[in-house]
A and B are shown apart, each in its own frame.
Chain A
Amino acid sequence: MADAIPLIETQMLSKKFGDKTAVNNVTFEVHGGEVFGFLGPNGAGKSTTIKMIVGLLQPTSGMVRVAGYDVQAQPLQAKAASGYVPDEPNLYLKLSGRELLRFVGDLYELDRQQAARRIEELLRLFDLAAAGDDTIDSYSHGMRQKISVAAALMHDPKVLVLDEPTVGLDPKSARLIKDILRQMADRGAAVFLSTHILEIAERMCDRIGIINRGELVAVGTMDELRALGTGKGETSLEDIFLQLTGGAEYAEIAAVLA
């Protein structure tokens, strides 16, 4: 059940890179207990928005609050409450999986013994216990993605932000991640994830936001999004997404090329 106080809140959030506006006046809220899907075409501004939420980028204007803390004014409190999984698992390749998690435990100032227990739990959960002492450069892409998710879960965050979390994962691992995200939401955390796999968004997310060319064009539950349709019978998220982001006309071009 969603809480009344939002754990992620953006107000008129904008980011410009020189003359180019990547994100323009984006406003939304994600409450505890919710899984929020963030969709958009390539280059729409998803990753930029996510990076502003987790404090990797400073907004040009607007405000982001995470767990009630302003990310710009109280970055340490906001970051302590959140976990982040980037789209590419860039990790320290010369550290072992276990050493990486220990390092993350230190960064989040976890008690040493509590961190050690948590590391073993997470390694077992993600089926990485046997590879825990191997350096990450010997890991496959999927293993790197899993250790990246494990690192984000080390401090049991209230807010979990994931950028394309299931890319490169086998079906078993993808299912595990989905189950974990659902469990976290059920325990009261806010889960914010971007994905291109609309089926995941449709089945997993309580609410969905669609961003196009830097602007949030729709936010709501699946039923609310369906109500936004043009009345031409769009029922699937794919139809709604294409209609809102201007991709529907490509179906005709594809038919000509086929």
Chain B
Amino acid sequence: MNQPSAIQPGSSLARYVWKLLRLRWVIYFSGFLRAKPARKVGYVVIWLLLLGLFVGAFVLSWLLLRALQSPQVAVYVDLRSLRDGLPVLALGGAFVGILLTSFGVLLQALYLSGDIDFLLAAPVPIRAVFIAKLVQAILPNLGLISLLGLPLLFGLGAASGYNVLYYPLLVLILIALALAAAGLAALLVMGVVRLFPARRVAEVLGFFGGILSLICSQAGQWGRFVDISESQALQATQTLARFNTPWLPLAWPGRGLVALGTGQWGTGLLLTGLTLVLSGGAFALALTTAERLYYTGWARLQVGTQKKRPARVSRPAAAEHRSWPVILAERLLPAPVRGIVVKDLLVLRRDLRNLSQLISALILAFIYVLAIGRGTDVPGGQGEMPAIFMQSLHYLKTYSALMLWIFMSWSLISRLALMGFSQEGKQYWLLKSAPLSTGKLLLAKYLVAYLPTLGLSGLFLLVISVLHGNPGDMLLYGLPVIALSSAGTTGINLAFGVLGAKLDWDDPRRMVSGNSGCLGALASLVYLTFSLGLFFGPPLGLTLLKQSALLGQALGLILGGVLGVACALIPPWLVRQRVSHIGEA
């Protein structure tokens, strides 16, 4: 019998943390070494660009802050309070930012990454695994915050002539704050995972994260920043200055650094020391708690905590009530096509990760419906314009609303059609081993993308026509336009979805390869531009030429319809041979 190896678990925490972190570095670096030359060049270019951004931001901050401190500017505005509050704001913001953004990445790193079973089964102290995972999780966020915040604060130090101790302490405090924030976020993650399954928490988080980011982006677009008055700007700077109070612990690191920089050694050492002690305490608390919470949480995850629901009593098939769309679908569609459509819509609805991507189109639609609803139907002015222009403007407004919706439906179709095949993932074997022709499979995936969009479009048109008070224009002309233009968009995106189908994904956000995703979006946008020109050009042109708008609409429907039908049929037909090869490595 051989002697057991001389591993002493827990003998040196730092040694194990170093081993685990070095392993990540080796994986990253060997990935770089094995990458294709073009990718290697890409990596180097990105790093150089980031370095350039860092240096550029530093120089810009330095020059700008020096200019703001000049006596000429000081005559108009006293920016000293803002300057002194800048480190407070940046470091406080970094702490809160890392605290908020770390939850999701720590959940993934601590509970859902593939190597946890291996690491926790190995004779490695659980604290070492925890620290290594924590550091890996916060590095991207810390890097991003450092890239944006450090040049600004270094620039402030240079412009204000702070002493040399300011610079290394700034980096040290930023790291301490990041570790403390991540430690607290980890405690929160460990607590939540004891109550809810980690995978479900990740799904819910992804769903709300997607919605929140969309709302933020839209709120930014709708904000009226250009209208900010001088008094509002002054009020904002005063609010920021109020944040810089000695009683707020989040202000201590910034105030301490400024005090050290300006040579107030007593205050500076006290506040930075307090910051380091508190940050270390928070991290130590997370570390000691993790010893118990992390392991038990992980162990609970392995046995599963899902409550058993009482079994539902299934009704016999004959007694099932079927609604008219189901009966219609049964008459019109072959069973395999119907089955795939129902299956895909069920899976899309039940998987929150998918739903968060789809819901963005719906939120955008809701926002723009509100915007259109608030608009006035009659263009401004005193009626001195010729009637023909007024009528053209009326049509232009109607068609603009339709165009807006067509672009909304484009974003929905892009998601559904482009990812139609990739969405099958590792389950694609079920479709591929079934007696299913390529035509039926393409038709099913086409309908999965097209039908929900068509349904939503009908609803949108109904709402808009009520808001506009002209259901004729909107419904009778708008619905065929949207149906035909969306048909083309679906065909193009579906074809690119076939070409870029990727089945080995774990994260739904990585379903489609970048190239086909970009090309699909570009091609369908080019198509849409032409298509809208064909649909709306003739009615607008004929109205301006004092001809019948109805004739123009009919002409538009024929021209745009031909293009739409062609794009609905030809791109999927071109890639039909590729369908039978999907999933073959």
Interface residues of A (CB under 8 A from B): 17, 54-58, 75-77, 79-80, 82, 84, 86, 88, 90-92, 94-95, 98-99, 102-110, 112-113, 115-117, 120, 129-135, 137-138, 151
In Å, the complex CA distance between A108 and B435 comes to 7
B40 interfacial by beta-carbon distance below 8 Å: no
Report chain B residues within 8 Å CB of A110: 335
Which listed residue, A79, A94, A115, touches B351 by the CB 8 Å rule?
A: A94
A-B contacts besides A106-B339, A134-B309, 17 pairs, CB < 8 Å: A55-B433, A75-B580, A76-B437, A79-B436, A84-B433, A92-B343, A92-B427, A94-B346, A94-B347, A95-B343, A103-B343, A107-B430, A107-B436, A109-B334, A116-B318, A132-B311, A138-B306
Interface residues of B in 399-435 (CB under 8 A from A): 425-427, 429-435
Q: How far is the CB of B438 from chain A (nearest CB, A)?
A: 10
How many chain B residues touch the partner (CB < 8 A)? 39
In Å, the complex CA distance between A81 and B336 comes to 16
Report chain A residues within 8 Å CB of B585: 17
Interface residues of B (CB under 8 A from A): 199, 304, 306, 309, 311-312, 314, 316-318, 334-336, 338-340, 342-343, 346-347, 350-351, 425-427, 429-437, 580-581, 583-585
In Å, the complex CA distance between A86 and B525 comes to 40
In Å, the complex CA distance between A105 and B336 comes to 8
Instruction: Please tell me if the beta carbons of A56 and B316 are within 8 angstroms of each other in the complex.
Output: no
Instruction: Please tell me if the beta carbons of A133 and B312 are within 8 angstroms of each other in the complex.
Output: yes
Using known A-B contacts A17-B585, A76-B437, A133-B314, determine if residue A56 contacts B429 with beta carbons closer than 8 Å.
yes
In Å, the complex CA distance between A252 and B175 comes to 56
Q: How far is the CB of A141 from chain B (nearest CB, A)?
A: 11
In Å, the complex CA distance between A186 and B430 comes to 26
Instruction: Please tell me if the beta carbons of B432 and A107 are within 8 angstroms of each other in the complex.
Output: no
Report chain A residues within 8 Å CB of B316: 116
Which listed residue, A76, A92, A116, touches B317 by the CB 8 Å rule?
A: A116
Would you list the 6 A-B pairs with minimal beta carbon distance, nearest first?
A: A106-B339, A116-B317, A80-B435, A90-B426, A94-B350, A79-B435
Which listed residue, A57, A75, A86, touches B584 by the CB 8 Å rule?
A: A57
Using known A-B contacts A55-B432, A56-B433, determine if residue A109 contacts B317 with beta carbons closer than 8 Å.
no
21 A-B pairs with CB atoms under 8 Å apart are A55-B433, A58-B580, A58-B584, A76-B437, A79-B433, A79-B434, A82-B433, A88-B426, A99-B346, A103-B339, A103-B342, A103-B343, A104-B434, A106-B339, A106-B342, A107-B339, A107-B340, A129-B311, A130-B311, A132-B314, A151-B430
Instruction: Please tell me if the beta carbons of B435 and A92 are within 8 angstroms of each other in the complex.
Output: no
Report chain A residues within 8 Å CB of B334: 109
In Å, the complex CA distance between A130 and B312 comes to 8
In Å, the complex CA distance between A27 and B105 comes to 51
Report chain B residues within 8 Å CB of A56: 429, 432-433, 583-584
Instruction: Please tell me if the beta carbons of B343 and A54 are within 8 angstroms of each other in the complex.
Output: no
